[in-house]
Amino acid sequence: MTRLLKGALLFIVAVLLLSACSANEKDAYKATEQKVSGVFNSAPKKVNNKNEAVHFYLPFGFEIKDKTQNNVLLKNGSKTYILFYNQHEGTNSKVVYNATLDAKKYDYKKTYKKGDKFGFLLIHDLGEDKQELTIGIGGVKLTTETKTKSMKNDAEYMMQIINSVKMEKAKTK
């Protein structure tokens, strides 16, 4: 009888711990969504970095590590961010969003619309308190890996960058 009681008690504790973890994750997703929404709906930060094709704001501590066609690799401390841009897509385009969704299953999806801007937040749970965070507007997206406790702040910086992006028109031959 005591074995059965211990087993039941262990099961109840496990269920409580698992539900507490998922509640914290859900709270983190909601807080992240609120930060992203706030920045998406605010005025863009002033551009302080220019590349051949894309101009954008970089928050303090961020630096450009590498540039390739359609990508800019950013660093902030030990964290790496990949900025992808498609000059052929405007701020209202859903092409990058749909292509990103087709690439993998996301655990959390939120879209935003304001005037001619279409924005999105995608979170893919990587396990062990880590998420892949992708934030975009139209033909531009920014992706990084982050811990749950840092997700809200990372998302705010990421949307500040994305919201500020200005692209040069693609040159046609």
- pTM: predicted TM-score of the whole model, two decimal places: 0.84
- What is the per-residue pLDDT across 61-115, written as a single tens digit (0 to 9) for each? 999 999 998 999 999 999 999 999 999 999 999 999 999 999 999 999 999 999 9
Comparing 52 with 111, which gets the higher pLDDT?
111
Dihedrals phi, psi of 27, to nearest 5 degrees: -60, -40
Which CATH number applies to 3-167? 3.40.1000
Q: List the beta bridge partners of residue 112.
A: 119
- pLDDT value for 52: 80
Domain boundary assignment for the chain: 3-167
